[in-house]
Chains A and B, each alone.
Chain A
Amino acid sequence: MSQANKYYSGLAVLILSLLVLPFALSAAGTAWVRITNLAILFVFLSLGLNIVVGFAGLLDLGYVAFYAVGAYVYALLASPHFGLHLPFWMILPIGAGLAALFGVLLGTPTLKLRGDYLAIVTLGFGEIVRIFLNNLSQPINITNGPRGITLIDPVRLGSISFGRSDQFFGLVLSGPMKYYYLLLLLLSLVIVVNLRLQNSRIGRAWEAIREDEMAARAIGINTTRIKLLAFAMGASFGGVAGGMFSAIQGFISPESFVLTESVMILSMVVLGGMGNIWGVVAGAVLLSFVPEMLRYTVVPLQMTLFSRIVIEPEVIRLLLFGLALVLMMRFRPAGLWPLRARQREFHKQAAIK
């Protein structure tokens, strides 16, 4: 078989298995379809953050802020809170646009910062957005404060609502299963966007800034514009993911957008291999699923062993994140699936030893 044939048949198998996956999962329990949906959202988020951190090399610890912006835009425009019920295909672009605007808002004052300093400012930005969401219930009630927004509309396409089960050609599709397919579609779009950008004039300019900002400026790259573009692009993906999150959950509150979420998304990018799209996908899938699997094994295990829960699953999750990163730094410092360039670089260092 030729190389291209192999590639296409591999791709066909992958697509086919992704298409039947929810049926297999719902056999194991609807919860697993929901977990998979959240995992896809995290892959989506990681790919957005990868543009900023992986491509342009700008360490952003406040990424969850854009996720929050997208989520609240959806919640406010499609819930009884303001009595607005716009269709999702209208809200998602608004959310993406507003998140991009927030990206520029964060990018503009931090243009001269790099590394640790940038990380601290972006971290602060994430917290500021969350605190705003918590407090924008007075004097005018915009966000409903810590109580959050409830009864958010599910996605509707014509007469099909993603909130309930439907029958198509004799197949019963539950709400989460429909979301699965929608998310899969959005995810393929974002992967294509990422792949195309990476090998483009803009993608190369991002990489150049990551490698040597002064040299990039000297050869005529308008680093201000190109960096803001990275912030805006990354943020807009966060905004879309946030909108989908709102629709799927039906309820959001500032609690969903804490610093740990930013850290988690960043861990996914770093674990997989910064800058490499497939590495980032792998990292996000791994870090989304493994903790959930543990949740389903650790709790029953503790119950049988101690007949009570000694360590909360949430704690175990964070513990695992730490462990995964430590192990990665020790054994695969460039990530599980590193960018070609870094791979060679670390390989060479190993060879020198």
Chain B
Amino acid sequence: MNPSCLLEAQAISKRFGGVRALHEVSLTIRQCEIYGLIGPNGAGKTTFFNVLTGLCTASSGNFNFAGAPLDISAPHLVAQAGIARTFQNIRLFANMTALENVMVGRHLRTHAGVIGAVLGCAATRAEENAIQQRAVELLHYVGIADRANHLARNLPYGDQRRLEIARALATDPKLLALDEPAAGMNATETAALRVLIEGLRNDGLTVMLIEHDVKLVMGLCDRVAVLDYGEKIAEDVPENVQRNSKVIEAYLGA
């Protein structure tokens, strides 16, 4: 495997009964790259994320991640390996505050158990402080620190998207997979999101991006893959993808 390659998907297939949601999709994502995944509705983009993050089992195929085979048998193992994601229809912990949402994101990288919590020993308290401090930092990072004590359900839409990203970042990922983060955002919010994603990459993160906003994808991504009916029909730099006749026919249209 190429040392600069972070994720390698090998012939991933997924069927839902008669529906071929993914068919032998192979792709590679390099370190520090922003990699776009586009395609018409129902093409299998979200399904690819679900298979990658262990939320649904692949019919066949496998992944290599950071130089080792990726165990996708349980979602927490994928998160442990360093892949975090957001959801197309936002899935926050609605009745917890923004801060608590991000604090839960630290679960994976912290250790306190029942006994530590009950006894309230020094190590547990120190860890608890560190969790909170990191969560506040991340809220600042995505720009919603002033909302820390608001319930997630009461945040405006754009802030909910940002909170979901902060929560994903709390797991210390190497690869961040964003499922249509700009959906439902206005032009200003989308521009701000773009700055945020570019910032993530500059801070050393690799980003995989599902997005319908063609302008955003083409402007932001280093490379783009196009899915159609579960098959990868193109993978290239944005300029070439935009000129690809198969892509124009299937997705970009007139």
Chain B: minimal CB distance from A207 (Å): 6
Chain A: minimal CB distance from B240 (Å): 33
The CA-CA distance from A307 to B130 in the complex, in Å, is 69
Residue of A197, A217, A219 near B114 (CB, 8 A) is A197
Known: A196-B117, A196-B118, A204-B100. A219 touches B167 (CB 8 A): yes
CB neighbours of B127 from chain A (8 A): 201
Known: A205-B104, A208-B104. A219 touches B112 (CB 8 A): no
Q: Indicate if the CB atoms of B107 and A215 lie closer than 8 Å.
A: no
Q: Indicate if the CB atoms of B91 and A212 lie closer than 8 Å.
A: yes
Chain B: minimal CB distance from A225 (Å): 9
B227 close to A (CB within 8 Å):
no
Known: A205-B107, A212-B93, A341-B96. A222 touches B76 (CB 8 A): yes
| Secondary structure call for the A interface | helix
Residue of A197, A211, A221, A342 near B108 (CB, 8 A) is A221
Q: Indicate if the CB atoms of B92 and A212 lie closer than 8 Å.
A: yes
Known: A196-B117, A196-B120, A205-B107. A220 touches B168 (CB 8 A): no
The CA-CA distance from A202 to B113 in the complex, in Å, is 7
Residue of B55, B105, B117 near A200 (CB, 8 A) is B117
Residue of B94, B107, B118 near A201 (CB, 8 A) is B107
> Which range contains the number of B residues in contact with the other chain?
35 or more
Q: Indicate if the CB atoms of A341 and B95 lie closer than 8 Å.
A: yes
The CA-CA distance from A215 to B168 in the complex, in Å, is 10
0/1 string, A328-352, CB within 8 A of B gives 1: 0000000000010110110010000
Known: A211-B96, A342-B95. A219 touches B107 (CB 8 A): yes
A233 close to B (CB within 8 Å):
yes
Q: Indicate if the CB atoms of B93 and A220 lie closer than 8 Å.
A: no
Residue of B79, B118, B128 near A219 (CB, 8 A) is B79
**Which of B7-15, B80-88, B243-251 participates in binding chain A?**
B80-88
Known: A197-B117, A211-B96. A220 touches B151 (CB 8 A): no
0/1 string, B60-84, CB within 8 A of A gives 1: 0000000000000011100110001
B209 close to A (CB within 8 Å):
no
The CA-CA distance from A201 to B110 in the complex, in Å, is 8
A216 close to B (CB within 8 Å):
yes
Q: Indicate if the CB atoms of A219 and B108 lie closer than 8 Å.
A: yes
Q: Indicate if the CB atoms of B120 and A201 lie closer than 8 Å.
A: no
Q: Indicate if the CB atoms of B75 and A217 lie closer than 8 Å.
A: yes
Known: A211-B95, A212-B91, A345-B95. A219 touches B168 (CB 8 A): yes
Interface positions of A from 69 to 107, Cβ below 8 Å from B = none
Residue of B104, B112, B114 near A216 (CB, 8 A) is B104
**A contact set with B: CB distance below 8 Å:** 192-193, 196-197, 200-205, 207-208, 211-212, 214-223, 229, 233, 339, 341-342, 344-345, 348
Given contacts A202-B113, A207-B96, A341-B151, 20 further A-B contacts (CB under 8 A): A196-B117, A197-B118, A201-B107, A201-B127, A203-B117, A207-B93, A211-B92, A215-B91, A215-B93, A218-B79, A218-B87, A219-B84, A219-B105, A219-B108, A221-B76, A221-B104, A221-B108, A229-B114, A339-B95, A341-B95
